[in-house]
Homo-oligomer: A and B are copies of this chain.
Amino acid sequence: MGAPGDIEDLIGLMARLPGLGPRSARRAVLMLLKKRGPLMAPLAQAMAHVALSARDCSVCGNIGTEDTCPICTDPRRQTGEICVVEDVADLWAMERAGAFRGRYHVLGGTLSALDGLGPDELRIPLLVRRVQEEQTREVILALNATVDGQTTAHYIADALAATGVQVSSLAQGVPIGGELDYLDDGTIGAALRARRRV
């Protein structure tokens, strides 16, 4: 309260964004109001455009502005490798790293009886079909190193066993720039077990 009605409504909607509360949403809207021309109008326009045009890629589940996302339609991407990620955010993180040249499959979460997320909700049957149809050589499981992520990884490996595709997962170990003193015991143990000859 305090601001005129329309502006209060906008503050209320902004406050629902992650990382913003009622107070910081108010501050953000005030800043937008002071920069109506250079920032607020373009932001509103960009948001309306994306809200209208964004859709889930029918092949991999990535979010883009076309029916099939730019990665799935890019002829330079290798077709023989599918990288399985939990979420679109993870796909974007992989793309920022720029280390993978194949295609993706977004699950949309991890198996969770509590949240009612079974294999069908996670697009796992779709993944099995893609592997068969696209003559995939390798499926790389890039799931989070959490209990849920690893449970889901095991389930997918089982589901893909009949197709004969090679299934691998991201290596676990010391992160680049990581200092042993600050690493948790689990990571140090995993890095020791997966040690390599130099």
Contact = CB atoms under 8 A, between A and B. Distances in A.
Nearest to A92: B2
Interface string A49-76: 1111110000000011100011000000
A44 interface: yes
Majority secondary structure, A binding face: helix
A51 B47 contact: no
Interface residues of A, number: 55
Interface in A1-21: 1-4, 6-7, 9-10, 13-14, 16-20
Nearest to A7: B50
Contacts of A1: 95-96
A2 B96 contact: yes
Contact of A51 (B17, B36, B49): B36
A2 to B, nearest CB: 3
Contact of A28 (B7, B20, B53): B20
